[in-house]
Structure 1
Amino acid sequence: MSATAHSNLHRNAWTDWWEGSRRVDIWWTLAWFDIVLRYRRSLLGPIWLTLSMGVMIAGMGPLYSALFGTELSRFFPHLALGVIFWGLFSSIVPDACHTFVNSSHYLKQGYFPITLFVWRSLGRNIIQFAHQIVLYVPVALWAGISLSWHVLLFFPAFLLLLVNAHAIGLVLGLVCTRFRDITQIVTSLMQMLMFLTPVFWLPENLPGRARYVLWNPLAQMLDLLRTPLMGGMASVHDWLGILCWTVVSIVGASLLFVKYRRRVVYWL
C-alpha cells in the first residue's frame, strides 16, 4: 500500500489530473450524497431549491420591470435566466474556495488525486442548477419565447463554463487552502460583481461610458448562456472574450497544479 501511494505521489501532473477526472463514478456519487445529506429529513428535499428560486423570481419580476419601465413579458425571462445562472456562478466560485478544506478527511487518510474533489464540487453545483433551470420552461411559455437554431449555441457555451469552472476550482482550491483569508476576499468580490453583471438590469439601459462593465467575464459568460435561450445570438465580442479568458484560466490552473498539487495535504 505504501509503495502504491509513493508511486502515485510521484506520477506526472497529467496522469494525476486524468486519474481524478476519469473516476466519474466516485466524484458524481460524492456530489449526489452531498445533496442528499444537505436535505436529509426534509419533506421536499432538493425541490426546495426550485421553490425558493421560483418565489424569488416571481416576486422580483413585476417589481423590477416597473422600476426599469420595461415590458414584463420581455424583462421577466431576462431576469429569470439571470438569477438562475448567477445562482450557479455564485455557488461554483465560493465552493471552489472550500474544495480541499471540506475534503480534508479524505486527503489526510490516503492518496487521492485532488482533481477528484474539484469535480465533486462542480458536480454538486450542477445538480443544484438542474433543479433550478426547470423554472425556465414555464417562464418561456408564458413570455412566448420562440426558439431558433441559435439555442444550440447554449451547449458549447455551457461546455466553456464547465472548463472555466474546473480551472478556477483548481486555482481557488489551491490558493484558498494555502491562504484562508482569500476566501473572504472572493466572497466579497462576488457580491460586488453581482451588481456589475446584467442580472437584474438590461445592458441597453447603460449609458455609453458605463459599458465597460460588460467586459466583466461573468457578464460575457452570462450573455453566452442566456441569449440563446431567449431566441437570440450572443455577440462575437463575448465569444472572443470568454475564449481568451478560458486560455488564461487553463494556463494559470495548469501552472499551479503542476507546482503545488503535492502540497495540499500539508496545508490542511
Structure 2
Amino acid sequence: MSSGIRQRQLWAHLGWQDIKQRYRRSVLGPLWITVGMAVTAAGLGFLYSTIFGQDPAQYVPYMTVGFIVWYFISGCLSSGTEVFIKNEGLIKQLPAPVMVHVLRTVWREFLLFLHNLVVYLGILAIFQPDVTWKIISVLPAFALLLLNGVWVVLLLGVASTRFRDIPPVVTSLMQLLFFMSPIVWPIEILEQNAGPRAWLAQLNPIYHYVDIVRAPLLGEDQSMHHWWLVLAFTAGGWALALLVLRNYRSRVSYWV
C-alpha cells in the first residue's frame, strides 16, 4: 500500500495521460467532459422537472450535483472491474505495486469529477441556490468519496481478475442502481408516494454518498446519519480491501 502511494508521480502521470489519450486530436480536448455534463444537466434537468412537477430553479441544481457524484461512483465501479485486466501488459512488464494501477484509476476518475464540477459553478451563477457556510463540509465529503473509490476499485479489480463473470454482472447492475438512487428523482417524492416504505431508500448506500456531497453544495440541511453510515462503509470496505491486498496481491500478475 505505502509503496504504491509513494509512486504518486507515476500513477498521477498515467491517470492524466488516460484522459489526454481519450480526447486526442479533438478541438476542446478534456473540456468535452464539462460540455457533456452541461448538456445533460440542461436537457434532462428541464425535462424531469416538468415530469416531476418541480421548480426548475430547485430541481436542475439537485439533479446536476447528483449526476456529478454518480459519474464518479459509476466510473470507479466500471473501471474497477477492468483495472488489472486492461493493464495486463504493464503488470507483467513493469515492476510496480498493484496499488499503482488502483490509484491511477481513482485519480483519473477524480480528474473527470473536477471537470464536471465546473458545471456546478455555472449552476451557482444561473440558479443561485442558497449556499451557506455549510458548504465547507463538502471537503471531507470529497475526501470520503476518494477513500471509498480506492477500496472499491481494489476489491473489484482483484475479484474481476479472478472471476471474469463479475464485470458484466456489475455493468448490468449499474443501470438498476442508478434508477433506484435519488439522483434524478427527489427523495421527497418517494416519501410522499411510498409512505412507510420510503425507509427502504436508506438501504441504498449510493443515497448516502450522494447526500453528503449534494446537501452542502445546495445549502440544504442533512441528517448526520448519512455521515455515520458512509464512515461505517468506509471502515468496513478498507478493512476488507487491506485483507484482500495482503493475501492476493502477489496472485494478480498470474490471474491476468
Tell me which interval the TM-score lies in, with the shorter structure as reference length. Answer: over 0.9
Structure 1 position 47, deviation (Å): 1.0
Q: Which has the larger radius of gyration?
A: 1
| Structure 1 stretches of 4+ moved >6 Å | none
1:136 match: 120
Q: Please say if 1:263 is aligned against 2:247.
A: no
Separation in 2, partners of 1:110, 1:95: 20
Aligned residue for 1:254? 242
How big is the shift at 1:141? Answer: 2.0
Q: Match for residue 180 of structure 2?
A: 196
Change (3 A) 1:110 1:139: closer
Within-5 A mapping of 1:63-142: 63-142=47-126
SS in structure 1 opposite 2:93? coil
1:150 aligned partner: 134
Partner letter of residue 76 of structure 2? I
Q: Does 1:165 align with 2:165?
A: no
Counterpart of 1:262, as a letter, is S
Residues 210-241 of structure 1, C-alpha deviation per residue, up to 9 Å, x if partnerless? 33123211110000010000012321111111
Contact residue 151 and residue 231 of structure 1 kept, 8 A: yes
Contact 2:91–2:253 under 8 Å retained in 1: yes
The 3-state SS of whatever aligns with 1:134 is: helix
1:197–1:214 Cα contact (<8 Å) kept: no
Q: TM-score normalised to the size of structure 1?
A: 0.91
CA RMSD of aligned residues (A): 1.1
Distance in 2 (CA, whole Å) between partners of 1:110 and 1:130 is 29
**176, 179, 199: which one aligns with 2:160:** 176
Of 24, 31, 38, the match for 1:47: 31
**Residue in 2 that maps onto 1:205:** 189
Aligned to 1:262, what secondary structure does the other structure show?
A: helix
CA distance, structure 1, for counterparts of residue 68 and residue 147 of structure 2: 19
Paired residues in the alignment total 252
Letter in 1 for 2:218: M
Question: Unpaired runs of 5+ in structure 2?
Answer: none
1:62 equivalent to 2:46? Answer yes
What is the identity percentage for the equivalent residue pairs of Structure 1 and Structure 2? Answer: 38
Change (3 A) 1:195 1:264: same
2:233 maps to 245
Quote how far apart the aligned CAs of 1:161 are.
1.0
Partner of 1:185: 169
